Structure 1
Amino acid sequence: MFYERERSSKKKEELISIIVGLMDEEGLKNVTIKDICKATNISIGAFYHYFQSKDSIVDEMFILMDEFFLVSQEAILQHPTTTEQIIDFVNHFGIYVERWGYYANLLIMRSHITKYSHNKKRRLYGILEEIILKGINDKEFKVKVDAEELIVMIFVIMRGYLLEWVNREHDYPVRDNMVKQATYLLKSLTI
């Protein structure tokens, strides 16, 4: 069962990478399902096996991101301090969005982002919350920190730099800037 889900996720990721390659600055609007099937070498029925609709491609991108963080969680938590774990979390977020590329992130930013970007049930949020709560319990912050507020700040940094990337276009060091800004924030909060 796990193997089948993992194989399906990998296939979705491959399909999305090809689909992203079809997109231009207009996003998916000018790409038809027939175009997608031709480029990915799948049937229309297979397309609907992986996606409910063309619009659901973005939903699947968020799901794949959460799966990426589930796989990366152990590596992130290996760091000895909360600061290092949060910075690696931000770094992994940057790795993920850079891997998708500019047009995929443009699509995400133009889509119904609020459905997923503010969903506290996502594993992505749970990992960051776990890190921050442990840091609070271990008294690693020199000021009183509200976990929920810090989570929001970290995500604002990451989404803000995604937006900056979209505004500046292709050759913007999005991950480096996310990590740098998160480091500045955390240095002001930790011992």
Structure 2
Amino acid sequence: MTKLTSRAKQALETKNRIYECGVNLIGKHGFDQITVEQIASEAGVSVGTYYYYFESKFELFKEMFKRADEYFLNKIADNLESSTAPEKIVEFFEKYADFTYETEIEIVKKIYISDNKMFITENRPMQAILQSIIEKGQASGEFSKSMSSIELTNMLFLVGRGVIFDWCLRDGTINLKETMKKVIGIVTKGLN
């Protein structure tokens, strides 16, 4: 791994500070209620510096999903310990619940809205990881091939998002990970 120069480290720190301040403001006020000027001010940078790192407010929002995808690619994809495809899917969604739980619920509530089309953006790495598990399960006979791996991936994410949405509606009072495990476990039993 290459060592970052002090300038590169400083640039990364600045971008991360802008990102964190933006995420916090989105959590407090909602995406549509904040401005680039507010984010820049909160991060202690000029508006021009904000635009150096993010082309728009929406680019910062997309960064949230990019970082989630990177997390799943780097930390989850090759580290699922379960032996069967159904178990791997349950484990995948347990990790999804863990990742969500690590984010403040007020931020999650502001992200899980009908206007947010990032959840249904195609070809995201997170989707590719799940689709690969499903394809292996179909090839091994653990899952039926009556639906395509893409359809099953979309269906499972629909269910997973529903569990998270319910957790938000209940203000985080239910155990997200256990609920996700139960619900996804039931759904995967119907895939064979």
Matches within 5 A, 1:7-156: 12=15, 15-23=18-26, 26-71=29-74, 72-76=76-80, 78-110=81-113, 112-114=115-117, 116-141=118-143, 143-146=144-147, 147-156=149-158
TM-score normalised by the chain length of structure 2: 0.79
Please say if residues 20 and 103 of structure 1, whose CA atoms lie closer than 8 Å, have aligned partners that are also in contact. Answer: no
Give ranges in structure 2 of 5+ residues lacking alignment.
none
| CA distance, structure 2, for counterparts of residue 51 and residue 182 of structure 1 | 36
How many residue pairs get aligned? The number is: 186
**TM-score (normalised: structure 1):** 0.79
Correspondences of 1:147-186 after superposition (within 5 Å): 147-186=149-188
- How far apart are 1:133 and its partner, in Å? 0.6
**Is the contact made by 2:156 and 2:184 (CA closer than 8 Å) also made in structure 1?**
yes
Q: Equivalents in 1 of 2:12, 2:89: separation in Å?
A: 26
Q: Which SS does the other structure have where 2:180 is aligned?
A: helix
Instruction: Note the aligned Cα RMSD (angstroms).
Output: 3.0
2:69 and 2:125 in contact (8 A); partners too:
yes
Q: After superposing the two structures, state which structure 1 stretch, 158-167 or 37-46, moved more.
A: 37-46
% identical aligned pairs: 26
* Farther-moved stretch of structure 1 (56-65 vs 7-16): 7-16
Amino acid in structure 1 at the alignment position of 2:163: Y
User: CA separation of 1:3/1:182 partners in 2, compared to 1, >3 Å: closer, same or farther?
Assistant: farther
The runs of 4+ residues in structure 1 deviating greater than 6 Å are 1-4, 7-11
Deviation at 1:83, TM superposition (A): 1.5
